[in-house]
Amino acid sequence: MPDGGRTTDAREGHIPTATTLTKTDTAVGIPAARRAGIVVTLVLGGLTALPPLSMDMYLPALPAVTRALGSSAATAQLTLTACLTGMALGQLVVGPMSDKWGRRKPLLLGMVVYVFATAICALAPTVELLIGFRLLQGLAGAAGIVIARAVVRDLYDGVEMARFFSTLMLISGVAPVIAPVIGGQVLQVTDWRGIFVVLTVVGIALTLVVVKWLHETLPSEKRHSGGVGEALGTMRGLLADRVFTGYMLAGGLAFAALFAYIAASPFVVQEIYGASPQTYSLLFGVNSIGLITVGQINGRLLVGRVSMDKVLAFGLVVITLAGVALLLMTSGVFGEPSLFAVAAGLFVLMSAMGLAMPNTNAQALMRTPHAAGSASALIGTASFLIGAVASPLVGIAGEATAVPMAVVQVVCGAGSLVCFLALCRPWRSQHRVATTELTGP
């Protein structure tokens, strides 16, 4: 929307700025959310944990999949790209659906399809079929991602929402910690197909939990009644909001730096440095603990005391500098780097994500109280599409070098910082007032 900040209904494609939010605009259901806070948090944490669980449990098996199905490393990495692409495109569909029909129905449909697709992945005889059903798995799994964010927007606003995102990161962040460990242990007793069997069981269990405990959070009077045209109009209005788009792109590019690490690390740690799947799982878990810890520092100590934009800017700078350090190390500027040195650089990069991800999500969604599903879809789609493009680039030079991973991380980190500064313009007086109102002095 124009900088002047004229506020109209999001159904007409215009997005209210943070300065225009009143008590009547804030999310509904906050008292109910507090009464069922623990249950809602655990369910939403499970939904947001499912995608990283689907990705990260599979990572230690990626070299084994390459050998078992007779494919190249680049082709095997397409199984990651397919899942990421599916998650991106699926959110574009599920987000508007949830604004029109509520949160529960699209979520349950997505969970059922996810279970089916994951079960077929366990039986895939060729890498091509595996890629195809990983795409379907991603399309269905997108429901949990986009609807979890939309539910948070239904229930919370302002500082509460930012803090809840950090709490959600604690719950969902357990998945990246334990997923590679579980994957490594599964590989001790069976092959890579057993990982998809475990994911199928997890999908079934989470579906049953959603049926029993996650109630509808979008009242019928708050839903959109229009069809595809209205959904597209709403998304056009969201993208026309320069500041929203800035947060969306900044978060998406930071997310891509994370996925460059996810796609490359199995080969970097296991093939270049000769670590076992169990050692790789341990290092991945340590990095994930860093992300969780910093996320909790953000939610419990920084939000409400320090401007979210300042915290976000610091996080993006650290991500970029960590990428530069990794590029210098992997290109041999300081000689042959040790696994410890590379792991330390990745730890810093991963930890800084705890400042970037919750704050970009919260700042973007604060501007979209009347179109949370569509806004969540655009945020998620941008993140996963950019991540899907970045993931195969890390293997472009083969399995013997980590330089492409570092190059992608530097480009994405710098790009996220540029988008934040150029589009969000946090120093401008109008935006500073909006941020102060929502974060506290």
Each residue's pLDDT tens digit, 374-386: 888 888 888 878 8
Share of the chain above pLDDT 70, in %: 84
User: What's the chain's average pLDDT?
Assistant: 80
Rg (C-alpha) for the chain, rounded Å, is: 21
pLDDT bin (cut points 50, 70, 90) of residue 328 is very high
Name the residue with tokens 């210098």: 328
Nearest residue to 278 (alpha-carbon basis) of 270, 290, 287, 288? 270
Each residue's pLDDT tens digit, 50-89: 887 887 788 788 888 888 888 877 788 788 888 878 887 8
Q: What is the mean pLDDT of residues 398-424?
A: 89
pLDDT of residue 152: 84
pLDDT at 107 over 70: yes
CA 71 and chain centroid, separation: 28
pLDDT of residue 8: 37
Q: What is the mean pLDDT of residues 273-300?
A: 83
pLDDT at 351 over 50: yes
pLDDT of residue 441: 37
pLDDT of residue 434: 42
pLDDT of residue 369: 66
pLDDT at 440 over 60: no
Each residue's pLDDT tens digit, 179-213: 777 887 888 888 889 999 999 999 999 999 898 88
pLDDT of residue 35: 39
pLDDT of residue 226: 62
DSSP 32-45: HHHHTHHHHHHHHH
Q: What is the mean pLDDT of residues 296-313?
A: 87
pLDDT bin (cut points 50, 70, 90) of residue 172 is low
Name the residue with higher pLDDT: 143 or 166. 143
Each residue's pLDDT tens digit, 5-49: 333 333 333 333 333 333 333 334 444 434 346 777 888 888 888
pLDDT of residue 352: 93
DSSP 236-261: HHHHH-HHHHHHHHHHHHHHHHHHHH
CA dihedral (49, 53, 55, 57) in degrees, to 10, reads: 160
Residues 6+ apart with CB under 8 A from 7: 14, 16, 17, 20
pLDDT at 3 over 70: no
Q: What is the pTM of this model?
A: 0.70
Each residue's pLDDT tens digit, 233-250: 778 888 889 999 999 999
SS3 57: coil
Which range (124-133, 320-329, 367-376) has the least confidence?
367-376
